[in-house]
Amino acid sequence: MTAHLAKIALTEMQAELRDQAMKFCGEKSPVSKVRALLEDERGYDEAVWAEMAELGWLGIAIPEDQGGLGLELADVVPIAEAMGKHLMNSPYASTTLAAQAILHGGSDAQKAEWLPKLSSGTVATVALFEPSGAWELDAVTGETKTFVLNLNAAEIVVTTVKHDGQTRLALIPRDTIEARRETIIDETKRSYRFDVPEIDAIWLMPAELTSAALDRIELVANLLQAAELSGAAMACVDYTVDYLKTRKQFGKVIGAFQALKHPTVDAFMGAEGARSLLYAAATHVERQGEGEIAVRMANAKAGGALSYAADRSIQFHGGFGFTYDCDAQLYRRVAMFAASQFGDAAFHRARLAELLL
């Protein structure tokens, strides 16, 4: 089975989306804008979000009869990659996760009500993490949720709850939640914590679909995260190379020194490897068995590639690299926060060992 995982089939649609997304995110999210939004309570540009909705990006993986474009999950990868490359914060990943959870775990009425809204720009999020950091089915207490991204902007929250002793998924209206903002290492994102309110039975999603929906959320979350990290890794390499080509020491640009060339090549190879595994994962994501393996491989590789590239970038910038003014810290923070979400590289490798051996 794993012999087929080397196949990468970037479709014409994905290539077109990638070009479009790279151009859009490059124009809308220069690093000056990224830094300005660090101080913004919402953390993203609502006007840009509206433009993304008009472009149809929010409905890519939603069926046409439910208000979407009816494309494949793989077609969201180029967009998430572009956002990662330009450090663009938006509720795109959280809304896509919520849409996939509803699509695979919601009732017909819930799909009919929410999927067209999410496709047209309504923001949603998922709240799965317990205070311990666990989110698996048997770890849910249904009392408090943490690391809930973009809750401030969401209209609906997909969360795990306890109901009659069972772990269930529920769609909780945002206005029933009292949330507290969390301080997290990645300042481009907005994370919240809340105590789960008393559950109204009409919010519950079908019990028999809970496990499958959670599996879908994990798969999609890891694919989107691999895309974000892969894009950020390549951007970090580009940022570092630009510096190595301009900073001079002893009368030469520092990029001329072998001691800096070799690790820079390693960082580039890591980023390219991450991109290859990302698109292999996009190719195989919907295939039973192969999808999980390919996505975990991509996420583990992308996390390591970004961490290495960011560490080298901080080191190569010398004393400046340790300051807040150096953009290298932005990339390192992305990698550190991502490792706290749905498993770090070591976790994915451990799961891969169970799946492959």
> What pLDDT digit, counting tens, does each position of 318-345 carry?
888 889 999 999 999 999 999 989 888 9
Quick one: which of 62, 85, 109 has its CA closest to 220?
Answer: 62
pLDDT in the model for residue 322 = 87
pLDDT tens by residue, 243-262:
999 999 889 999 999 999 99
Q: How far apart are CA 131 and CA 129, in angstroms?
A: 7
Which tokens hold the place of 8?
């990468």
Quick one: CA torsion of 239, 244, 247, 248, rounded to 10 degrees? Answer: 180
pLDDT in the model for residue 96 = 98
Q: How far apart are the first and last CA of the chain?
A: 12
pLDDT tens by residue, 94-139:
999 999 999 999 999 999 999 999 999 999 999 999 999 888 888 8
pLDDT tens by residue, 29-42:
999 999 999 999 99
B/e letters for 309-331, b = 16+ CB within 10 Å, e = fewer, are bbbbbbebbeeebeeeebbbbbb
B/e letters for 266-304, b = 16+ CB within 10 Å, e = fewer, are ebbebbebbbebbbbbbbbbeeeebbbbbbbbbbbbbbb
Q: How far apart are CA 234 and CA 272, in angstroms?
A: 7
Quick check: 228 and 84 in contact, CB under 8 A? Answer: yes
pLDDT in the model for residue 13 = 86
Q: How far apart are CA 80 and CA 156, in angstroms?
A: 22
Residue 71 pLDDT grade (very low, low, confident, very high; cuts 50, 70, 90): very high
Phi, psi of 169 (to 5 degrees): -95, 145
* Residues with Cβ within 8 Å of residue 4, at least 6 apart in sequence: 284, 290
B/e letters for 25-55, b = 16+ CB within 10 Å, e = fewer, are beebbeeeebbebeeeeebbbeebbeebbee
Q: How far apart are CA 116 and CA 59, in angstroms?
A: 8
Q: Is 122 helix (H, G, I), strand (E, B) or coil?
A: coil
For 195-202, the CB contacts below 8 A with 24+ separation are: 195/143, 195/144, 196/142, 196/143, 196/144, 196/145, 196/159, 196/161, 196/172, 197/172, 199/161, 199/163, 199/170, 199/172, 201/163
Is 80 exceeded by the pLDDT of residue 1?
no
Which tokens hold the place of 90?
């938006």
Quick check: 164 and 143 in contact, CB under 8 A? Answer: no
